[in-house]
Amino acid sequence: MISNRSFYISVLAFITTILLVLYIHHKSKPSFIKSDLDKFPLKIDGFIGHNLYLPKFVFKTINPDSYIYRFYLDDKGHKIVLFISYYSTAKGGRTTHRIYTCLLGAGWHILKISDLEISPSEYKENVKIKYVLSKKGSNYLVVLYWYQVERNTVVSSGIELNLYRFKNMILHGRCASEYVLIFSPTSKMEISETKEIAKRFAIRVISELSKYWPIEQ
Q: Where are the alpha helices (DSSP H) in 63-153?
A: 99-105
Torsion of CA 179, 185, 188, 193, to 10 degrees: -70
What are the residues facing 96 on neighbouring strands? none
* Helices H / strands E in the chain, number of each: 5, 11
Q: What is the distance between the alpha carbons of residues 148 and 89, in angstroms, rounded to a whole number?
A: 13
Q: State percent of the chain over pLDDT 70.
A: 72
CA nearest neighbour of 167 among 180, 155, 181, 179: 155
Query: What's the residue count for the chain?
Result: 217
> For the residues 21-25, what does the mean pLDDT come to?
45
Largest Cα–Cα distance in the chain?
A: 70
Cβ neighbors of 11 (< 8 A, separation 6 or more) are none
pLDDT band at 65 (very low <50, low <70, confident <90, very high): confident
- Residue 214: pLDDT band with limits 50, 70, 90: confident
Residue 170, CB-side half-sphere exposure with 13 Å CA sphere: 12
In the chain, % of residues over pLDDT 90:
40
> Which range has the worst mean pLDDT, 75-79, 101-105, 142-146?
101-105
Dist CA 20 CA 18 (whole Å): 5
Angstrom distance (rounded) from CA 186 to CA 79: 9
Distance between CA atoms of residues 99 and 88, nearest Å? 20
- 110 vs 142: CA distance, rounded Å: 10
Mean local confidence (pLDDT), 105-114: 90
What does the pLDDT read at residue 32? Answer: 52
